[in-house]
Amino acid sequence: MAGRGSAVAVGALLLLCVLLHGEVAESAVFTVGDRGGWGMGAGSWANGKRFKAGDVLVFKYDSSAHNVVAVNAAGYKGCTAPRGAKVYKSGNDRVTLARGTNYFICNFPGHCQAGMKIAVTAA
């Protein structure tokens, strides 16, 4: 009996791995701003693109001049980072999209107000 239980556990584990791999394999990777990267002109970059939960956004930028802050809708609208907001500052950041609208701003002085922000909705 112990052998049969082990075989079932191994089978379940393999099935789980296949299902997880299938979900990851379907994810797409997008570079924000395309060749121009994350910068002042990236605000309209998401227009016309279709995103899914699990897709990955890559933010490429000069880390001495910009950053990426994941914010909520109010932070996006008001160009403010709420307490505890995740701040990315490597210059080559990868962010996995959650279902719903994902908001990102640069919180260097004046950047968000000048349009350096994006809202990406993932189905």
Coil, strand or helix: which one is 60? strand
Does position 94 have pLDDT exceeding 90, yes or no? yes
Q: What's the fold here for domain 26-122?
A: Immunoglobulin-like (2.60.40)
pTM of the model: 0.79
Instruction: Give the burial class of 14: count Cβ atoms within 10 A of its Cβ; 0-12 exposed, 13-18 middle, 19 or more buried.
Output: exposed
120 strand-pairing partners: 102
Structure confidence at residue 81 (pLDDT):
96
**Dihedral sign from CA coordinates of 31, 95, 29, 50:** negative
For β-strands 117-122 and 100-105, DSSP reports them as antiparallel
Write down the H helix ranges in the chain. 2-25, 73-78
Specify the DSSP class assigned to residue 123: -
Coil, strand or helix: which one is 29? strand
Instruction: Name the band, by pLDDT with cuts 50, 70 and 90, for residue 113.
Output: very high
Overall average pLDDT of the 9-29 stretch: 59
